Structure 1
Amino acid sequence: MIYNRKLGRLEQAMEILNSRAKTWNIVTISRIKGYICEETLTQALDVIQCRHPRLSSQIVRSQNSLSFQSQGTANIALRVVRQLNNEQWQEVVYEEINKGIDSSKGLLRVVLVHLLGEEHITYLITTIHHAIADGLSSIQLHSEILTCCHKIVSGEPINLATSLTPLPPIEELMPEWTRGFRGRINSIIFLLQVALQHIWNRPQTLGFEKYVSIAKRRCNIIQRQLDQDLTQKLVNHCRQENTTVHSALCAVLMFTIGRKIIKDHRKNVRVNCLSYFDLRRHLEPEISDDHMAVLASSIMGFHTIKRNTSLWELAREVKQKLEVGKKSGQLFKMILIAKHLIDFCFIYPKQVAATVSVSNVGKVNIPKHYGEFELEEISFAGSHALYAGVFVIHASTFEGKMLLNFVFSQPSISQDTMENLVNNVMSYICDICNLNLNSSLICN
């Protein structure tokens, strides 16, 4: 069946980011115990391509419009890499996160990394276009691939009748008040509100250590993790302090930047945080996790960190503002203005989009065991070369262990600066978990 259609506004924005800045494609990394051969993975990808017809689509430009078309799309691109040690998979991630997707040919590519001398360890790395997937669905995709691999090697039948119908554009799934003339008025009002908030608050950011044009920017990633004990301590302390892990991560990142940029003569630091959330549970009817689509949105929060502000106080403030934002429909309003905000980034490339950005999918609810294959770790990251000067984190928790991917645009933030910031974040998290936190993180 053919599922050709024009891209929605958010999908168009994702293609603009991919084609002009190699930005916002989603790279997902799995560490797997068990040897997956190329032939097995190729068969599994064929099954996945049938299950998700959008993986058989390409994006075609005609008469100033962008459309999904599925005629003549090639099989999913697969590359096999053999590395000498356990660290070199990161080189593949760096390569993938800086390589745009040729959307005229396909919307997903896959890399299989075999570690020489460790044949029982495999890395599965996928890069998918953000117009057809978000962090949650990219993680779900890995689970489906591993399920297919298990069935193939064990000789079990695979039911191809479970192919899913692609969803319409997210704009058609949102509430009625976001559509038509009323939706246009709401988007204009909200865009003005966001602009006024920026002008009024003037949030401070890392800025540019070195400025280069968008075309010359590169994305890099630093990965850290919390073991099961530390992760559980963080969860427990967040509950005790009447906040969430997401809000605590936002607070830690903002305090980290605040500590770096505060001057002795300043009494406070103004910052802002861009928080990303899954939209599936906010739609009526709810959308199943099985569906692959871009079903995520964001809320921008503005905060002032005073010298006596505690981290938990800030975390509770973040939580409260996010709850208010959700109730007021900001998740939907941000979808309405997303393309305008992205256009602004291209028109004014020296502007910094936010102080920090946090995307936390929380507990990953996929199996650990797939027959002879065992999923040891899984995490994701967006390619954010465009967003210079923003301190970005992507978090996921699997089997009780939290993985943190810190993504940054170079050379606006140098490797040394980022490593220092990441080390400070990890130190603050350890302080939270071990109750060694002072009342203020930015006060010397």
Structure 2
Amino acid sequence: MLRQLGIEERIFWLHDQAIPLHFTMAAKVIGELQVDSLQQALAWVQQRHPLLGVRIVLDSLGNPWFTEDSATIPLRVVQRQSEQQWQQEVEQELAHPFNWNQAPLIRIVLVHAADCSELIITCHHAIADGMSVVYLLRDILQAVGIPGSQQQILPERPAYEYLTPIAHKIKPPTKDSQLELVNPSQTIPPAKSLHFRLLTWSLSPEETATVILRCRQAQTSVHAAICAAFLLAIAQSHHSQNDTEAQSLEQKQPVTLNCLTAINIRQFLTPPIQEDFGYYFTSNISAHTITPNLSLWDLAHVIKAQLNQKMSPDQIFAHLPEAQAFITSNPSIDTIKDIFQELYRYDVLVSNLGKLHIPTQYGHLQLAAIYGPSGAIHVAKGRFIGVATLGDQMFFNLLYPDSNISLTEIEHLQKKTMQLLLGESMEQVQLLSDTLISEDKRSLSKVK
């Protein structure tokens, strides 16, 4: 593979040099996951997905290019000693940025035991998104658990902007055969990462079904309800810290909070991108004024409506020509950093992968849980929420910088959010259930 980085790939490559933006996904696997079989599987998936074998180099004009390299995917094996050990490994992975000039821009950690292991995949954001890692994880487990079932090698893809309806507005990359790819004389050392802490939890099948049912009744999305619950919990925490106990509900001041949503754009591309490993997402940030009497479902409706406006092809890709013009002006790393901090100043970032349509059984291996994405945070009090629904369970992880948010605050936020999401949901579902039972009884009495 040899191509220039696309518009947003290049923006993330630049930003990563100022403040790292790499991310992780983690999976719990039941069954014996042998190290040698895993290494063979990694060699196979590296053939299947072209971006798993690249590094980034510069041409004589300073433009970054993906170029193929022979380096294998590094695998670090750690002996599993506790259920929570993998979370510490995720925190460690997020504290170590990639060197973009060294291949590959992905690495794996196996927290290993004879009958249960966690697989942690860490990627440079210029080559991947959360769904890419989901499909990669499936490919790895299939290669290990069902030998001989390998899928076809996928083609090299252009940057996603050339697959959009506005591709004609995007200037093609420079095609000067005289440009010789060169390595930088010295790579700028990555900025020191903040130290992050990870809190994870899951909903039971019953709780997951309850949330989905209530969202359907309220005619909103699960994603919007999750965003609303976290925003309300943060606002309530803000009030408890800044208001006196004597203040009434009416006296409490509104709080304006920003929510950033990661958006999967694969379905909007031509041809649609399905299982390819690459950068196929964008984001939307919205500001919400939280008043003391605002309900979960009213806020969820507002969030869903705003996202629906964004989710049309003419809106979702509208920023690309302007972003390309900005990139071609050769902005400095500091400029990129300042713009990110100005435009993406969020209180909560929610990356919800939705219901994952991948198997949970791979021969003798069972995929029991998926947690992620967890991405390095670039705002002081940002909270990064990763959500994935596997089978009939919803899995959450909450990443936060421990320098200015305490574990006690985060645990309170998590508890309050789930109370908002589940407590009201369960109450409403119970009312619905009671209503249906009463109607059934009335129907039976009429029959009699």
* TM-score normalised to structure 2 length: 0.81
Alignment partner, residue 4 of structure 1 = 2
Q: Structure 1 residues 157, 88: closer, same or farther in 2, change over 3 A?
A: closer
In structure 2, list runs of 5 or more residues that go unmatched: 172-190, 328-332, 430-448
In structure 1, list runs of 5 or more residues that go unmatched: 182-213, 438-444
| Secondary structure of 2:317's aligned partner | helix
**Aligned-pair distance for 1:355?**
2.2
Is residue 2:68 matched to residue 1:70? yes
Conserved? CA contact 2:25–2:121, under 8 Å: yes
Q: d(CA) in 1 for partners of 2:252 and 2:357? A: 45
Q: d(CA) in 2 for partners of 1:138 and 1:219? A: 21
| Secondary structure of 1:222's aligned partner | strand
Q: d(CA) in 2 for partners of 1:239 and 1:336? A: 37
Please tell me the root mean square deviation across aligned C-alpha atoms, in Å: 2.5
| Secondary structure of 2:318's aligned partner | helix
**Aligned-pair distance for 1:60?**
1.5
Alignment partner, residue 54 of structure 1 = 51
**Aligned-pair distance for 1:19?**
3.0
Alignment partner, residue 273 of structure 1 = 259
Matching residue's letter, 2:414: V
Match of 2:418 among 414, 423, 426: 426
Is residue 2:251 matched to residue 1:256? no
Match of 2:166 among 166, 176, 193: 176
Match of 1:164 among 139, 149, 154: 154
**Aligned-pair distance for 1:377?**
0.7
| Secondary structure of 1:149's aligned partner | helix
Conserved? CA contact 1:31–1:376, under 8 Å: yes
| Secondary structure of 1:146's aligned partner | helix
Q: d(CA) in 1 for partners of 2:314 and 2:195? A: 34
| Secondary structure of 2:220's aligned partner | coil
| Secondary structure of 1:385's aligned partner | coil
Conserved? CA contact 1:150–1:371, under 8 Å: yes
Pairwise mapping of residues 6-405 of structure 1 onto structure 2 (< 5 A)?
6-23=4-21, 25-63=22-60, 64-71=62-69, 73-105=70-102, 106-115=104-113, 119-152=114-147, 156=148, 158=150, 162-176=152-166, 179-180=169-170, 215=192, 217-262=194-239, 263=243, 264=247, 265-288=251-274, 290-327=275-312, 329-334=314-319, 346-347=337-338, 353-405=345-397
**Aligned-pair distance for 1:245?**
0.3
**Aligned-pair distance for 1:89?**
1.6
Q: Structure 1 residues 28, 238: closer, same or farther in 2, change over 3 A?
A: same
Conserved? CA contact 2:356–2:390, under 8 Å: yes
**Aligned-pair distance for 1:411?**
1.2
**Aligned-pair distance for 1:33?**
0.9
**Aligned-pair distance for 1:101?**
1.7
Matching residue's letter, 1:4: L
| Secondary structure of 2:413's aligned partner | helix
Conserved? CA contact 1:139–1:380, under 8 Å: no
Q: d(CA) in 1 for partners of 2:411 and 2:58? A: 41
Q: d(CA) in 2 for partners of 1:393 and 1:242? A: 23
Q: d(CA) in 1 for partners of 2:267 and 2:52? A: 24
Conserved? CA contact 2:252–2:292, under 8 Å: no
**Aligned-pair distance for 1:343?**
6.0
Conserved? CA contact 1:345–1:353, under 8 Å: no
Conserved? CA contact 1:178–1:336, under 8 Å: no
Conserved? CA contact 2:202–2:394, under 8 Å: yes
Structure with the greater alpha carbon radius of gyration: 2
Summarize deviations over 1:179-236 as a string: whole Å, max 9, x none: 248xxxxxxxxxxxxxxxxxxxxxxxxxxxxxxxx73622221111111100000000
| Secondary structure of 1:164's aligned partner | coil
**Aligned-pair distance for 1:178?**
7.5
Q: d(CA) in 1 for partners of 2:372 and 2:13? A: 19
Matching residue's letter, 1:18: D
Summarize deviations over 1:245-280 as a string: whole Å, max 9, x none: 000011111101111223454442222211111101
Summarize deviations over 1:52-71 as a string: whole Å, max 9, x none: 12111111134322111114
Q: Greater shift after overlay, 426-435 or 245-254? A: 426-435
Q: d(CA) in 2 for partners of 1:420 and 1:133? A: 32
Matching residue's letter, 1:294: Y
Q: Structure 1 residues 220, 61: closer, same or farther in 2, change over 3 A?
A: farther
Q: d(CA) in 1 for partners of 2:31 and 2:392? A: 21
Tell me the percent identity.
29
Q: d(CA) in 2 for partners of 1:345 and 1:7? A: 16
* TM-score normalised to structure 1 length: 0.82
**Aligned-pair distance for 1:371?**
0.5
Equivalent residues, number: 392
Matching residue's letter, 1:148: A
| Secondary structure of 2:272's aligned partner | coil
**Aligned-pair distance for 1:429?**
2.0
Q: d(CA) in 2 for partners of 1:413 and 1:327? A: 36
